[in-house]
Amino acid sequence: MVKKKDDELLEQVDKPKKRGRPRKNKVLSEIEQAVSEAAAQSQAEQGEQDEYLINDEALLEQIPEELGLLSLRENVLFNSMIMPIYETRETGIEVIEKAYNSSKFIFISAQKNSAVDTPKVSDLYEIGTVGLILRMIKMPNGHIKALIQGISRAKCLGEIAKASYPQVFIELIKEKSVKITPEVVALTRLAREYSEKILQLRGVPIAEIMSILMQVEEPGKLAPKELNALEDVDYERVNNAKNAFTHELFAEVGEKAVKSKEFKAFVKENREWLEPYAVYCVLRDANGTAEFEKWGDMARYDQKRVDAFVKEHAMEVAYHQWIQMHLAAQMSEVRDYCHSLKVALKGDIPIGISRMSADAWLYPHLFNLDAQAGAPPDDFSVLGQNWGLPTYNWEEMGRDNFTWWKSRFRKMAEFFDVYRIDHVLGFFRIWQIPMNQMHGLLGMFNP
């Protein structure tokens, strides 16, 4: 029965066509060689130890016979696998919350048809996995991020009829113990190393962000020991950890914070730039990209659509406004402390902006988004420099007496006593390069 159901999970996977005896590729040969070498090393480290087994009977005994039921649309949770889950359905949210606040065990089964939004037990595969909820974060919009580890395969024996939320009777499926040989240890080590390399190329996924949070031992401690112990600062991981932490914190204090006089005053005073920026951040995160051209109906800034979006996503927008309020307060505190020591602060204003920034989304007419700034060839760079930043449409900026620049200077003056404009020459002329060119060689001065 188990094998039949397992086969059903794979029924949509195309079977490889037979093309004669396949040739072993270079990557496979390297992996096999690495496994062989690592296995020898593991054997040497372990000596002549007996083979041992993966077994955790104590944990299995804690699993109740009645569990909340969570359905997955297009994924399958396997034993020992740790999966990040972002749940948006009300039923799924309730199931995860109930489980997390009780035994932390949950029964997870894949849907036969991912298009079904509210599946019944009959819409799910009979064989699923008992998962242990390691971590749960409730987002400001009510959705849930959870980190769940597969503990044991199980069979659904039927739904609990009178339950207030989806619950089922389950029966654990006894697995064959896996013998851990030096080869298995070596393969595990190799898989971990390859995974780390892949993650470094692709960035930090949600699973790692949440695992970072799990390492935080004290409330309010923004960075785990692992990050603090690094010889060099890993800015990306620290930033991801802080973002995840502040989201969780805002989920707890957000409703009270947005009603405070301090928050309302900050939003009112900075409304001109703050609200568009916060909306930009929400859309960037929701679409998984800062390339606003890929945002569908919101690709072009439209005030009516933005107003409607703010009403629909009020707390998500408020989160980014709340972050900016605290950043401004911290920067003001630093400024005041420096002044108390009779120390002046000098800031820096770069001449350019990112073509995927909130400013470019809000004021595209003020920039030449079809061009990029850089520097001409010289003794230091024979091909010139391409900074990838859009140049300014000075004629358009002049129509409102350069309001955008004046606003930028005024905001900087709140925190700094003096500031430097990086590449001030850009106000008079800039090396402009066509968008289809990689190097600065084929640019020209504008104006």
Q: Coil, helix or strand for 352?
A: coil
CA–CA dist 222, 384 (Å, integer): 41
Q: Does residue 350 or residue 26 have the better pLDDT?
A: 350
Mean pLDDT score, 166-192: 73
Q: What share of the chain has pLDDT > 90, as a percent?
A: 46
Confidence of residue 50 (pLDDT cuts 50, 70, 90): very low
Q: Can you give the pLDDT at residue 126? A: 92
CA–CA dist 63, 61 (Å, integer): 6
Provide the CA 344 distance to its chain's centre, in angstroms: 38
Per residue in 202-259, pLDDT (tens digit) is: 454 445 444 544 444 443 344 456 677 778 888 887 888 788 788 878 888 888 999 9
Q: Is 173 within 8 Å of 127 (Cβ atoms)?
A: yes
Neighbours of 263 (CB within 10 A): 17
pTM: 0.54
Instruction: Please list, in sequence order, all residues whose beta carbon lies within 8 angstroms of the beta carbon of residue 258, skipping any fewer than 6 positions away.
Output: 264, 315, 318, 322
What average pLDDT is seen over the chain? 81
Mean pLDDT score, 119-139: 89
